[in-house]
Amino acid sequence: MREIVVFGDPILNRVAEKVEVFDEELTRLAAEMHRIMISAPGVGLAAPQVGAAIQMAIVDVSVGEDPDQLHILINPTICETEGSQKGEEGCLSFPDITTVVERPYRVLIQAQDLAGNPFELQAEGFLARAFCHEIDHLKGVLMTDRISRLKRDLIKKKVQKRVKAGTWQP
């Protein structure tokens, strides 16, 4: 059983590898990621967050309630963006920490599904934010890379305190 890795683990800062083989193992990993995401609970999870440095991420803003809202993105790219939005963001690799992050309001994404078939997806608002956050993970970019140094240092201090207390184990 895989577990969520938290900030401090170097896998979160690495560029993930492109998926070339679309096999049963990949499908199993996507299903396991979905289970882990739901039990966390969260609205998205990227493969590097469970120790697999490959370009796959899932987003499900229904947190498992509505199968139509599960999006599995393999080798995704953001092709177009429009507007901007500011909002509170969390990350399963930063338990109990949120921060305000600026993101595009609308995005157009190209990705592949579990069979390797390419597709396009448009999203706006919170869903667009979730896609941007997860696709960032695949590039080794975290929400703390999208905020001011001052805010980033505050979060790092919080984490360091918890590492000392033994409640944060990268």
Known catalytic residues? 134
Q: Near Ni ion by CB under 5 A, which window of 20-28, 31-39, 72-80, 90-98?
A: 90-98
- Please select the residue that binds Ni ion; options are 12, 91, 111, 123, rule is CB under 5 A: 91
Residue 133 phi, psi dihedral angles, 5° rounding = -60, -45
What does the alpha-carbon distance between residue 57 and residue 71 come to, in Å, rounded to a whole number?
8
Segment interacting with Ni ion (CB under 5 A) among 84-92, 97-105, 112-120, 158-166: 84-92
Would you give the distance in Å from CA 105 to the centre of its chain? Answer: 17
Q: Is the dihedral of CA 141, 101, 50, 22 positive or negative?
A: negative
Nearer Cβ to Ni ion, position 91 or 107?
A: 91
Restricting to residues 119-158, name those near Ni ion by CB under 5 A: none
CB of 128 to Ni ion, least distance (A): 15
Please name the helix (run of DSSP H) or strand (run of DSSP E) that holds residue 125, with its range, or none: helix 125-138
Q: Which window, 23-31, 60-68, 88-96, 157-165, contacts Ni ion (CB under 5 A)?
A: 88-96
Which CB atom, from 26 or from 37, has the smaller least distance to Ni ion?
A: 37
Q: Measured in whole angstroms, how far is the alpha carbon of residue 135 from the centre of its chain? A: 6
Q: Which is nearer to Ni ion, 91 or 128 (CB)?
A: 91
Taking CB atoms, the residue at the shortest distance from Ni ion is: 91
Cα separation, 16 vs 66, in Å, equals: 28
Residues 6 or more apart whose CB falls under 8 angstroms from that of 79 comprise 108, 109, 110, 120
Structure tokens at 92: 């399963």
Binding mask 37-76 for Ni ion (x = CB under 5 A): ----------------------------------------
The footprint of Ni ion (CB under 5 A) covers: 91
